């Protein structure tokens, strides 16, 4: 992915894709002092750009690494990098991280907080599974407690268990893994939030130790506009057998129907299809 044409925005200027490197003693590489965003641009418009920039700044604050840019500056930088690469439909990845300091150790207050933004073309996250219903594994890793890690931050360190869960899922022929939380409740997938349907009503995990996704919040708003009841609550594993429909939400995943989680199966039903269609229309509006 590093040997190609294009530009990446780094610390205030555009650099050639092949030159967008960091030093091996970058603090983030050793101690996970990094927060990031995944966004999509549709027809030349970044969906919820300001919300993503604001979440990036908030994630930085939560990791004790204030990012030296404003929401407006970050929004403008995203536009600049899209333009430099000639893209109107793209995935955007912003990452803020602690760079190299005078010393190398756990403390990082003397390491500069850097910001880089890349963009590239990225289609459906789950490929063919998109409208057929993705197959999910159940991860052995649990989402940690808010007393263990700042789980509201979109922090790189939280993705270590996601990568391991996804590898295990793919080895079993699944697209992704659903994770339980530290208490045993249904939490989320490795890069997406989860929703269920039962008797015409929607149930989704309360966001008390998961990423409260921007897509999740958008979809909850859409469902309420459709007069469909949404319950944000703790969901027990044994309830999986009682749900009729299931889908994932995320910037990359968009609205992806789920056909199977472990041994539990779901239909790609009416509410799932309606939400997927309306989300598609909204992001392109």
- Are 155 and 35 contacting, i.e. CB atoms less than 8 angstroms apart? yes
137, two tokens: 């594994």
What's the first-to-final CA gap in the chain, in angstroms? 31
Site for ligand PMP in 164-193 (CB under 6 A): 188, 191-193
Q: Comparing C-alpha atoms, which of 124, 36, 47, 135 is closest to residue 88? A: 47
CB of 148 to ligand PMP, least distance (A): 15
Helix (H, G, I), strand (E, B) or coil at 13: strand
If one asks whether residue 257 binds ligand PMP (CB under 6 A), the answer comes out as no
266, two tokens: 């779901």
CB of 211 to ligand PMP, least distance (A): 4
Query: Measured at the alpha carbon of residue 188, what is the angle toward residues 182 and 189, in degrees to the nearest 5?
Result: 120
If one asks whether residue 214 binds ligand PMP (CB under 6 A), the answer comes out as yes
Q: Comparing C-alpha atoms, which of 26, 51, 52 is closest to residue 113? A: 26
Sheet with 7-10: strands ordered across: 13-16, 7-10, 113-120, 90-98, 34-42, 45-46
Q: Comparing C-alpha atoms, which of 218, 211, 193 is closest to residue 203? A: 193
CB of 218 to ligand PMP, least distance (A): 8
78, 130, 135, 154: the catalytic one is 154
Which residue's CB is nearer to ligand PMP, number 33 or number 176?
Answer: 176
If one asks whether residue 250 binds ligand PMP (CB under 6 A), the answer comes out as yes
Q: Could you tell me how many residues of this chain bind ligand PMP (CB under 6 A)?
A: 14
Among the listed ranges 8-16, 98-106, 167-175, 246-254, the one in contact with ligand PMP (CB under 6 A) is 246-254
Among 14, 27, 33, 38, binds ligand PMP (CB under 6 A): 38
If one asks whether residue 136 binds ligand PMP (CB under 6 A), the answer comes out as no
Length of the chain in terms of residues written:
285
**166 labelled catalytic:** no
**Chain residue whose CB lies nearest ligand PMP:** 213
Which residue's CB is nearer to ligand PMP, number 7 or number 47?
Answer: 47
If one asks whether residue 205 binds ligand PMP (CB under 6 A), the answer comes out as no
Give the Cα separation of 115 and 97 in Å (integer).
Answer: 7
Residues with a catalytic annotation lie at 154
Contacting residues toward ligand PMP, per CB under 6 A = 38, 154, 188, 191-193, 211, 213-216, 249-251
């Amino acid at each position: 992915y590093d040997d190609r044409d294009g530009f990446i925005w780094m610390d205030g200027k555009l650099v050639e894709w092949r030159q967008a490197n960091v030093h091996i003693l970058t603090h983030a590489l050793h101690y996970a002092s990094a927060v990031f965003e995944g966004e999509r641009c549709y027809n030349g418009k970044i969906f919820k750009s300001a919300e993503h920039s604001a979440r990036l700044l908030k994630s930085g604050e939560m990791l004790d690494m204030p990012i030296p840019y404003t929401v407006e500056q970050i929004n403008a930088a995203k536009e600049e990098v899209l333009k430099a690469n000639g893209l109107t439909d793209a995935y955007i990845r912003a990452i803020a991280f602690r760079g190299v300091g005078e010393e190398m150790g756990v403390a990082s207050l003397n390491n500069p907080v850097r910001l880089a933004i890349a963009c590239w073309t990225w289609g459906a996250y789950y490929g063919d599974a998109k409208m057929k219903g993705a197959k999910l594994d159940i991860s052995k890793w649990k989402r940690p407690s808010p007393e263990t890690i700042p789980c509201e931050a979109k922090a790189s360190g939280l993705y270590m268990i996601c990568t391991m869960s996804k590898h295990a899922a793919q080895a079993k022929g699944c697209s992704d893994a659903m994770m339980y939380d530290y208490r045993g409740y249904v939490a989320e997938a490795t890069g997406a939030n989860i929703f269920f349907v039962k008797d015409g009503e929607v149930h989704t995990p309360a966001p008390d130790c998961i990423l409260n996704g921007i897509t999740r919040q958008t979809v909850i708003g859409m469902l309420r506009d459709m007069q469909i009841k949404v319950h944000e609550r703790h969901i027990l594993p044994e309830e999986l057998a009682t749900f009729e429909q299931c889908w994932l939400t995320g910037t990359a995943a968009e609205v992806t129907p789920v056909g199977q989680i472990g041994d539990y199966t779901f239909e790609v039903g009416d509410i799932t299809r309606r939400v997927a269609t309306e989300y598609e229309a909204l992001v392109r509006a």
